[in-house]
Every structure is written in C-alpha cells, then in structure tokens.
Structure 1
Amino acid sequence: MNIKDIRQYFPILDQEVNGKPLVYLDSAATSQKPVQVIEALDKYYREYNSNVHRGVHTLGTKATDGYEGAREKVRKFINAKSTEEIIFTRGATTALNTVAQSYARANLREGDEIVISYMEHHANVIPWQQIARATGAILKYVDLQEDGTISLDDIREIVTSNTKIVSIMQVSNVLGVMNPIKEIAQIAHENGAIMVVDGAQSAPHMKIDVQDLDCDFLAFSAHKMCGPTGIGVLYGKKKWLENMEPVEFGGEMIDFVGLQESTWKELPWKFEAGTPIIAGAIGLGAAIDFLQEIGLENIEAHEHKLAAYALQRMSEVEGMTIYGPKDPDKRAGLVTFNISDVHPHDVATVLDADGIAVRAGHHCAQPLMKWLKVSATARASFYLYNTEDDIDKLVAGLVKTKEYFSDVF
C-alpha cells in the first residue's frame, strides 16, 4: 500500500484545521470518502437520477441496474449465497432493529434467553432490551476478561438450551477487540440459538465471509467503509428471511393490495419499503470497488501495524491508561485511552486546536464504560489513509495536553 497515493483520493484530508494540517483519527465514528465514491454519487444525480424498479424508461432502467448492481457487489463482498440475502437498510442500527422487531419478536417466548456482551454498542443493546420487555425473554451478558476479550469458556457456560439469540460485535469500537465469531456461532448453533453479528467495525477493515462464519445475520454501515451516510446492510440467511415479516410497509415491498389485506414481494424487496436508498447503494458499491482494489487484507495489515506503533508510542506518555488488549495482534486499528487527571473531552479539545480529530465520550457503549469503571474515554481510530506520522503528531499533542493541564492544576 502506497499511503501517499491513497491519501490523494481523499480531498477532505488536504486541509488545515485551526491553522494546522488535519490529522483525522476518528474513522471508527465515520470514515472519509474517496473521490471515486463522491464522483459515483455526483454522476447518479447528474446523469440518471430516477426511481428504481417501477419505470421502464431509460433513466429508470439505468438507476435500477446501478441499485441492484450494488446489491451484487455487497453479496460478493461478504460471500453471501444469494442477493436475496442482502437487504439495504438505513444503517447497522436499522439492520439490528429489523432482526429484533421481526425475527425475535415472532420467535421469542417468556423465559427464552438472549446473550450479548458488556462491550456492545448501544445499537446492539437497546433493541434486545425492548424485545426482552415485550416477550418476557431474559437478556444476559457474557463477562469479559481483564483485557476486555471474550473467553469461549464463558460463552459455553452462558449459552444454554434456553438461549435463542446470541448477538455479539465482531470488533469492539472501544477496546479494539476482535471477537471469535466463528467459534461463538458454533456454540450458539449447538444449543439451538441463532448468531447475530454487529459488523459495523469489522466490514471496513477486514475480509468477511458469512458462509465461513456461519452467522445467521450480519449488520454493517456504509459510512464507516468509505461509503455515504444513510445506508447499511442486513445480511440474513434466506431460511430466516423468508419466514420473517417486514417491519415497514408501503412502496416497492408490496405485491398486491386488497381492501383488508395485502401480500408482499419476494426477497429481498419485501424488507425495503418506499423509495429505496438509491444513491446510497450506488455509493456503497463504489466504496466496495475502492476497498477491494486496495485489498482488505492489505488494509487490515496496515492497521495492525499502526495499532502496534500507536500502543508503543502512546505508552510513553506519562499517566496514560490504554484500554483493551496490549497485544496488537489481538486488536483492530484503534486505541482508547485516558490521561490521568485530564477529562477526555479536554484531551479532544486541546488536540483539536492542533488539527487532530479524536473521539471523546462514552462511544455509545455505556455498559462497557461501567465495566471499565470510567465515565468516558478518548479514542484514536485509524484507517487506510493514516500514517505513523499521524500517530507521532497525536503523541506530541498528548504530551502537550498533559503538560498544559499539569501547569494549570
């Protein structure tokens, strides 16, 4: 990977913030967009903006080809068996809510169990809380090891014949932990449960094969993988999707409407009510083309290298606490941290004054913050366009932050 060449595809990186060159270290929240994606969106709106599926005119046909072509790109990207298993949604959050409101609501009974972990993003917590409340199911949390990883022994202990759903993120947006999804899925299936995977932090950074993982559902968002905001993907095994009811109604998902009842179209369209996210899908398709041209294996290797370098350099800062595994081979390309006696919001503010963008807060993971015994943390997250020089600037900024607050107090 020639990072200098790759950075040239991202026009937003070529700017100054507060008089300093931008150092963007918040890709876990949202990634920046390459010109290939920007141009794909621009071309759609300039040249063939039209609704899909319904029209027989030229623009409608071209838009439909672009939209459904993106679905095939997604299918190949995660190695699903069929495009019938690829549902376009507003994002990973909508995808997870669809599984909860459609599959879980219809299949769970009082006393059934749902298993998640303390590290989950709120989007993989609250839907299950709501379903447990509605059905009488029991929501259980698998504990974490001291370094934030999940033990398969703990999974085997908590997943029983009463468990109907196991829902775990593949990569933690706080700890950087890479969870053994394939092995967890096997344990879930041995006990008659389904496996739901939050892939929001994994799909942008590593190769995913849903058939190899044998997960039942996978959710991810385009905006974290160089694509546009407002679109995501729900993958589901066809055998489940066929028997699930839609949670939104109207538009292209309808087959026939009578006065008292209606019928739905076949997969995947029965889950895509109204005018779909056409431009978003086309932009996602362009993002997938871009990532695959570079190679997901190359991206993952680059981020592991950056994570190792960041762990080494950041550990040199006095008063630094780093959360998650210390072994870079066990974590993805992000580092969550705190500096003693400095609030993470103050850390982010001082860094921003030097043009360095990091995240601060609870990262939509308040149960994990409670487990870590902190109220908030700061997070630096890396992507294919980041360099070791970015990390050096981050460390210099952290030293400056520490010195500033030491002088103040």
Structure 2
Amino acid sequence: MITTANSLDITSIRNDFPILNEIVNGKQLVYFDNAATTQKPRLVLDALSGYYEHYNANIHRGIHHLAEKATGAFEESRRRLQKFINAPLSEEVIFTYGTTDSINLVAQTYGRRFLKKGDEIIISTMEHHSNIVPWQMLCEEKGCILKVIPINDDGELLMDEFEKMLSERTKFVSVVHVSNALGTINPIKEIIAKAHAVGAKVMIDGAQASSHLAIDVQDLDCDFYGLSLHKIYGPTGMGILFGKKELLDAMPPYRGGGEMIKEVTFAKTTYNELPYKFEAGTPNIADVVAAKFALDYVDNLGKENIAGHENDLLEYGTQALKEIEGLRIIGNAREKVSVISFVIDGIHHQDIGVLLDQQGIAVRTGHHCTQPLMQRFGITGTTRASFAVYNSIEEVDLLIKGLHKVKKMLG
C-alpha cells in the first residue's frame, strides 16, 4: 500500500465539489461510489460551460478564431494526458470514449490484423467484462484460445500459474492494473516483462488505477494502456488509449469517416497520420478540453497526498467493517486501493444498498461487471464502498452506523 503523511485540507477540498451539498432522502449526501465514477470539481464544471459559452466550434478544420481556440485547447489536453502517463509522444495518445472503447479498439484492430487461429490470449479472473468480452469475440472470429490467470482467496493473481501459461503460442496478454471489484493492485510490471519475454504484446486496463496510482507507461513498458477520465474527477464519455507508435502505425483504422483520412476518392482512401487515424468524426470536444482541468486539479493536490488520504480511509474503514458481526470483506490483497467489497450473512447486497440510500449513503451493489470473479468467490455480488479524496473519516463512521441499522432491520 502507498502511505504518506496526509497534509490535505479535506474540508476545503469538499467545498470544490458542489454535488456534495446535495440532500438525499433528507440526509446530506455521502458518496462512496467513486469506483464507478468520481464527482467533478468546480473548475472542471466551469471548463465545460466555458467551452460552450465562449469558443464552441469544431476542431482541426477551421481557420476562424473559435475553431483555432477550440483546436488549441483540445490538443493541449492531449499533451497534458501525455504528461500524465509519461508517454514518449503526444501522437501515442488516442482519444476514445473510455477504457471499454480503448480495449475494443485494440482487440478489433491489432487483434484482427495480427492474431490468428491457435494463438493464445491471456486475461485474469478479476477482469471487468470490458476486458473479457472483446477478447471472447475475437477468439470466436479468429479461432484464438483464451486463457485465464487464477487468483487466491485474498484476490491476488497466482503468478506461478501465469508463468506456466506462457509459451511461444502466447501472443497477447490483457490484464487489469487495479480490480474495480476488489481494489487489488496487480504486479503489472512483472506481468509485462514476463509476457514480453515470450514475444507477447500487453494491454493494461487502467480504469481503476489512474485515479490512485502514478502511471508511467515508459517505466512499465506496456504496449497499450487505457483509462477513463470520469474516474479521475473528469467528464464522462472520454478516455484515452496509449499505444507504442510502431504498433499504432501498423494497426488499421478502427472507424471510417471524417478526420481519419488524408485523401478520399471513390477508388481509394489514404488514411491520416497518428493520432487522427483512430479519431473519426467530430470528437467529444468539450469533455476533452475539460479533462486537462481534472488532471491539473489532481496534480495540484498531489497524487501521493491523495493516495495517503485514501489509504487512511481504507485502513480505518476495513478495521471498522471487520467488527460488524456477520460481515465478510471480499478481497484482502496485500496491495490495495481504497475499495472495500463486502457481504453480510443473510442479507442481500441489493437490500443493503437500498437501505443505505435511504440514509443518504451511495454505494454500489451487484457483480460490478465482474460476474466470473463473483463466481470464483461463490457469491452473486457484493456491496462496494469506494473512497476518493473528498471523503472523510466522519463519513465512514456514518457508513458503519448505517450498516448497523441495516442489520437491525434485516439481520
């Protein structure tokens, strides 16, 4: 776990997020659904409205003032994201609709062009459906073989089993950096090195990691990395795919249309250069522009400070939840981010979520788009509390109090 001295003024930070003043069922909102999406600070909201109010225009194709200003802001966000993940080149940062779109892009372009019948693709037991289904679709189409890294009862990958799977037939490995359902931090640098040793390429699903951990794609040496901005205090419907330039250059376009072309005739189309080859059509301009402000906000607070505060919440919440009779935490990895999934004997997770909502406490219930992982633990789903920088110890106490009320009513 990452620990650091907490120097953050949480009261001041909470004032940056207007939605935290919402009243839900007569109670002030306690928002513990951050693994699904984080709330947005005022400067991100202002950036969104500022674009539409002052320089709303399509980008890259206009020479008038608004178009040039919008294009500049759009490309500034690309450079900002390049810095955020330490990518070597800005053209290696492809704008997508989110991590799901990024994974599908790789599966449907790199996978279709370079993988063939009998090739093996490795994923893990803890993958989100977004990192399972695209590879299953590719295997059905191409005749590839999908293999799955098992986990132990604490929710950690069995690395010895992963090593046994690797061979000259292994052509692609796609694994999650941090589990959205368990909070487990996977040893992806080791995974990448071992996969590269047999000649395989590697995709990392960074949706959950990007708000908690420092991301350095050069240090990791991953071939592809996807993330979503709505989990980093940014807008929804916007993410990126990082890919090594030589791989992106070799991949065919994902979609056809405007912007991704250099020249079109009825006889032949010549495709554009990176990154535009993969960005067909009018993009999600406002959300891309606002993304820069979300990253600026995170950097201003300091990722280490954020991680330290979240770790304090994780440790405090874990200990408090363990003291509730009949409650069992699902996922006790040694390396975790601030996600706690749990079940309570005799009480359905959906009922827990409904009764907590009546007390103004927002949590996520269900299988969290990880049904195979839930099956591994012999359950249908969990209640998940996930913490962000604006959450407080006092809010965790309200969660504990709320769960005691749930047990009293249903236990």
Q: Please indicate, yes or no, whether the TM-score normalized by the shorter chain is above 0.5.
A: yes
In structure 1, what is the Cα distance between the partners aligned to 2:155 and 2:168?
26
TM-score, reference length from structure 2: 0.97
Q: Is 2:332 aligned against 1:337?
A: no
Tell me how far 1:283 sits from its aligned partner: 1.1
Greater shift in the superposed pair: 157-166 or 234-243: 157-166
- Letter matched to residue 83 of structure 2: K
Tell me how far 1:86 sits from its aligned partner: 0.2
Q: Secondary structure at the match of 1:273?
A: coil
Residue matched to 1:387: 392
Residue matched to 1:404: 409
Mapping of residues 314-329 of structure 1, within 5 Å = 314-325=321-332, 327=334
Mapping of residues 245-260 of structure 1, within 5 Å = 245-260=252-267
Tell me how far 1:105 sits from its aligned partner: 1.0
In structure 1, what is the Cα distance between the partners aligned to 2:218 and 2:377?
34
- Letter matched to residue 181 of structure 1: I
* Structure 2 residue runs without a partner (length 5+): 1-7
In structure 1, what is the Cα distance between the partners aligned to 2:373 and 2:159?
19
RMSD of aligned alpha carbons: 0.8
Write the deviation string for residues 43-91 of structure 1: whole angstroms up to 9, x where unpaired. 1000000000000000000000000000000000000000110000011
Residue matched to 1:56: 63
In structure 1, what is the Cα distance between the partners aligned to 2:267 and 2:101?
28
In structure 2, what is the Cα distance between the partners aligned to 1:139 and 1:326?
25
Residue matched to 1:80: 87
Match of 1:28 among 31, 35, 42: 35
Residue matched to 2:278: 271
Q: Secondary structure at the match of 1:251?
A: coil
Q: Secondary structure at the match of 1:252?
A: coil
Q: Is 2:23 aligned against 1:16?
A: yes
In structure 2, what is the Cα distance between the partners aligned to 1:178 and 1:156?
18
Tell me how far 1:297 sits from its aligned partner: 1.3
For the 8 Å contact 2:56–2:66, the answer to whether it is kept is: yes
Match of 2:49 among 31, 39, 42: 42
Residue matched to 2:296: 289
Q: Secondary structure at the match of 1:286?
A: helix
For the 8 Å contact 1:155–1:187, the answer to whether it is kept is: no
- Over 3 Å counting, the alpha-carbon distance change for 1:289 and 1:195 in structure 2 is same
For the 8 Å contact 2:32–2:362, the answer to whether it is kept is: yes
For the 8 Å contact 1:206–1:299, the answer to whether it is kept is: no
Residue matched to 1:370: 375
- Letter matched to residue 344 of structure 1: H
In structure 2, what is the Cα distance between the partners aligned to 1:132 and 1:72?
35
Tell me how far 1:300 sits from its aligned partner: 1.3
Tell me how far 1:205 sits from its aligned partner: 1.3
Match of 2:172 among 159, 165, 168: 165
- Over 3 Å counting, the alpha-carbon distance change for 1:112 and 1:388 in structure 2 is same
Write the deviation string for residues 342-385 of structure 1: whole angstroms up to 9, x where unpaired. 00000000000000000001100011011111011110000111
* Structure 1 residue runs without a partner (length 5+): none
Mapping of residues 154-303 of structure 1, within 5 Å = 154-303=161-310
Tell me how far 1:154 sits from its aligned partner: 2.0
Between the two proteins, what is the percent identity of the paired residues? 48
In structure 2, what is the Cα distance between the partners aligned to 1:310 and 1:195?
34
Residue matched to 2:5: none
Tell me how far 1:152 sits from its aligned partner: 2.4
Q: Is 2:132 aligned against 1:125?
A: yes
Q: Is 2:332 aligned against 1:355?
A: no
Tell me how far 1:151 sits from its aligned partner: 2.9
For the 8 Å contact 1:304–1:333, the answer to whether it is kept is: yes
In structure 2, what is the Cα distance between the partners aligned to 1:160 and 1:388?
48
In structure 2, what is the Cα distance between the partners aligned to 1:43 and 1:116?
42
Match of 1:134 among 128, 136, 141: 141
For the 8 Å contact 2:341–2:385, the answer to whether it is kept is: yes
- Letter matched to residue 172 of structure 2: I
- Letter matched to residue 401 of structure 1: V
In structure 1, what is the Cα distance between the partners aligned to 2:92 and 2:157?
29
